[in-house]
A and B are shown apart, each in its own frame.
Chain A
């Protein structure tokens, strides 16, 4: 008989091994699913994990991984700060939208003027927009004790309505024949978040994501604020005695994650997406929650998890169009990844023991 035994300390080695194990199990079970659907499982797995990196068109897919991964990493880094302290910002999608709107609005206000100052101003506006949107649940929580999970989540839907309003009204392209959607930043050099080196996928959002990873690492490991965050998550009472002021911490964690999500939205709207439109947001803010946990709330882990997630997206798309797999099968495959990660997490906190059946 198998028996679970709680470990006195979470196992360090399993902490690092479980994500890899989860990926392997996902490949095996996913492969079985694909073969049940009549595909060659090895071919599908190779298409998803190998082709984007080393296949014949890797020169295109590798940069695309950065494009797809950057917003996930940027948002997940912000979320991880709060999650570590037990502050749950579920509404990053909304902050992402608002950051895109404010960033784009500032850029479009200057159209068609050309100046180097415009893009930095847009960056600032994007961060501020996301920050302000996150301040709503933060202040409601610190002032009135409302639940930040609910408030931040509900504000996503408000942000979506605002997005539609902007795409149809204030930010609508005057030369767009009445169709919704703003001007395209790809045709406005001063506001365009272009690739820094053409064909590399490296736009300013990717740079920002890398900077955020480094910053978060330093903050969590070398700074008193990072210590407070970790302490609050692990032992709230002890944190109180250690002089942590919860109000400040809430404002900081929600504000920082909002600002980073806003930045992600701003870089996306001015770069890969190009324009504000009704369906501009595609769920990065929610997927980033998965990325944050997949990366163990650790900055480097998040970096790797974001890239892995991007890989499954891009590989999944290739599998769809080359092998004719339905989109739902790919989504299931991605879902499995999180599912198995949570499942094998058990090994971090528990030991599996072979127990002899005891006589009654």
Chain B
């Protein structure tokens, strides 16, 4: 194995390798933005990695590097994996986009998969999940459950994916509770337990009794647990250790089927650059168990919404909807197209505050 990886590594460095030369063992690499024990985003990606190992046994070798900063260091981490003979590399954070595309151009025979970005190349695919579908369910429960009518939202970076989540949650909270108000804190981090806990505490002090988060750690859950009478939702992972209260449900990212399918494609030689955006229907987005802290009727409504999205009968961004500035966005019954959603950089009507810029 040592010899094979040396051969492929050296050959790829020269840009000469073909997958025929590659071995019977397929090497799959993963670049993580947080530690695998974050209990959220990276934890779920690593579960996907373990699922790949499970599925292919000794036909596959996986490697990973955790807590890789976005930026110049990411290029080196990715290059290193390619040099070491990886056949397929998943880079699992938005900020790895330019690094992934840059390294990919130097290793035409290695396949790259970048999560949540938009730049593709012949050997670079992008994939993401329609998390906003889960946000719709969250928003519904949050709107029904809040007593102070203030919902706190810990946002990470003002990129379309995050803005989509805020909009989706808000639309569905507002629909069941017209008095609802969202307070958004931008943490400018994906994973920083101390910052996340501070944000949660600040929101609770401002009267929020529901905390939604788009950051990766369980720190907000712990902060909410201390405060009592505050509910939360697991983010990226089930975070069931905080159930039944404060965590009343969760959005679960399930990457395993995708990772297995893409690894299979590399093995078969059928891998092609694709742009994947799957949701509840395909199983990439899951809704974690809704606990008994939620009244039965609310739970039933939430599950009905989930089923409608799974069946393709309901889209969370269905008109009539206006933008924050009051201008028309979607007419009655109109559904947002993927292009607009992918680049979403505006709030919907009713949200207060500005998107940082």
Q: Chain A contacts of B70 at CB under 8 A?
A: 277, 279
Per-residue contact bits, chain B 89-122, to A (CB 8 Å; 1 contact, 0 not): 0000011001000100000000000000010000
Per-residue contact bits, chain B 311-347, to A (CB 8 Å; 1 contact, 0 not): 0000000000000000000000000000000111100
CB atoms of B63 and A322 under 8 A apart:
yes
**Closest CB of chain A to B179's CB: distance in Å?**
30
Contact of A320 among B66, B188, B342 (CB under 8 A): B66
Instruction: Using CB atoms, name the residue of chain A closest to B81.
Output: A321
Q: Chain B contacts of A320 at CB under 8 A?
A: 65-66
CB atoms of A279 and B72 under 8 A apart:
no
CB atoms of B66 and A327 under 8 A apart:
yes
Q: Give the size category of B's interface with A.
A: 35 or more
Q: Chain B contacts of A282 at CB under 8 A?
A: 69, 71-73
Q: Chain B contacts of A57 at CB under 8 A?
A: 9, 13, 80, 83-84
> What is the interface size of chain A, counting residues whose CB is below 8 A from a CB of the partner?
39
CB atoms of A184 and B98 under 8 A apart:
yes
**Closest CB of chain A to B102's CB: distance in Å?**
7
Per-residue contact bits, chain B 135-178, to A (CB 8 Å; 1 contact, 0 not): 00000000000000000000001111000000000000000000
In angstroms, Cα B337 to Cα A314, docked, is: 44
Residue B76 at the chain A interface, CB threshold 8 Å: yes
Residue B35 at the chain A interface, CB threshold 8 Å: yes
**Closest CB of chain B to A246's CB: distance in Å?**
38
Contact of A277 among B79, B95, B343 (CB under 8 A): B95
Contact of A168 among B73, B80, B357 (CB under 8 A): B357
Contact of B159 among A180, A186, A279, A318 (CB under 8 A): A180
In angstroms, Cα B29 to Cα A245, docked, is: 58
Residue A278 at the chain B interface, CB threshold 8 Å: yes
Residue A326 at the chain B interface, CB threshold 8 Å: yes
In angstroms, Cα B98 to Cα A275, docked, is: 10
Per-residue contact bits, chain A 154-176, to B (CB 8 Å; 1 contact, 0 not): 00000010001100110010000
Interface-central residue, B73, B79, B95, B344, by most chain A CB under 10 Å: B73
Q: Chain A contacts of B222 at CB under 8 A?
A: none
CB atoms of A273 and B79 under 8 A apart:
no
CB atoms of A67 and B118 under 8 A apart:
no
The 20 listed contacts between A and B (C-beta, < 8 Å) are A56-B10, A57-B80, A60-B79, A164-B356, A168-B158, A177-B118, A184-B98, A279-B69, A279-B95, A280-B71, A314-B76, A317-B80, A321-B29, A321-B63, A321-B64, A321-B77, A321-B84, A322-B84, A326-B66, A327-B65
Closest 6 CB pairs between A and B? A178-B345, A272-B72, A327-B67, A321-B65, A168-B357, A273-B72
